[in-house]
Amino acid sequence: MRSPYISFSLETKDVATVLPLVDTAAAGIDLARWRNFVRRIINAQRSSPAGAVGLRSPDGYVCGLLIYRVECELRHGLVLAIDLFTALALRHEERAIHALIKVAEVKARELACAATRVRIYASQKSFAEHFMAAGYSQEAILFSKAVEARPTPS
């Protein structure tokens, strides 16, 4: 059965529209920072496979977003690394999540990736069960720490 959701490549004109989705996964990102990030991703598409895909509900509302890049990993070889995966729908959020998972898997096949790796933020713990149901398994735990910039020698 064909999904009623429609995927689209994120363009510069869509940046402000999807910011509320970004905020659900990575709170505190302002529009200027998000716009700068998307600009780098859109420009990176020319040199290496990377991009952003949005998802529209059957009603036409943007209800999902994923940011991806292709990288080489020791275990799998080429992987579609999804750094941001978020879905938010007033009705049928589960369907939106599963539709976005399918979009990711199609993109991985298009880019000849052997696996898909998805980053889920701590605020998205409920997404884990959907990935497990779709056949994903947890392979690693990601730790992060901000690094202070060193002053340049004068």
Residue 92 lies in a domain: yes
Residue 150 lies in a domain: no
Q: How many domains does the chain have?
A: 1
Residue 145 lies in a domain: no
Residue 44 makes CB contacts below 8 A (sequence gap 6+) with 50, 51, 69
Residue 140 lies in a domain: no
Across-strand partners of 25? none
Residue 141 lies in a domain: no
Q: What is the pLDDT of residues 65-119, one digit of tens each?
A: 999 999 998 889 999 999 999 988 767 778 889 999 999 999 999 999 999 999 9
Residue 39 pLDDT exceeds 60: yes
Residue 151 lies in a domain: no
Quick one: DSSP state of residue 11?
A: -
80: CATH:
3.40.630.30
Residue 46 lies in a domain: yes
- 34 pLDDT band, cuts 50/70/90, is very high
CA 111 – CA 11 distance, rounded (Å): 20
pLDDT of residue 94: 85
Q: What is the pLDDT of residues 86-101, one digit of tens each?
A: 988 767 778 889 999 9
> Structural domain of residue 52, as residue ranges?
6-133
Residue 149 lies in a domain: no
Integer angstrom CA distances of residue 78 from 44, 98, 138: 17, 23, 18
Q: pLDDT > 90: what percent of the chain? A: 41
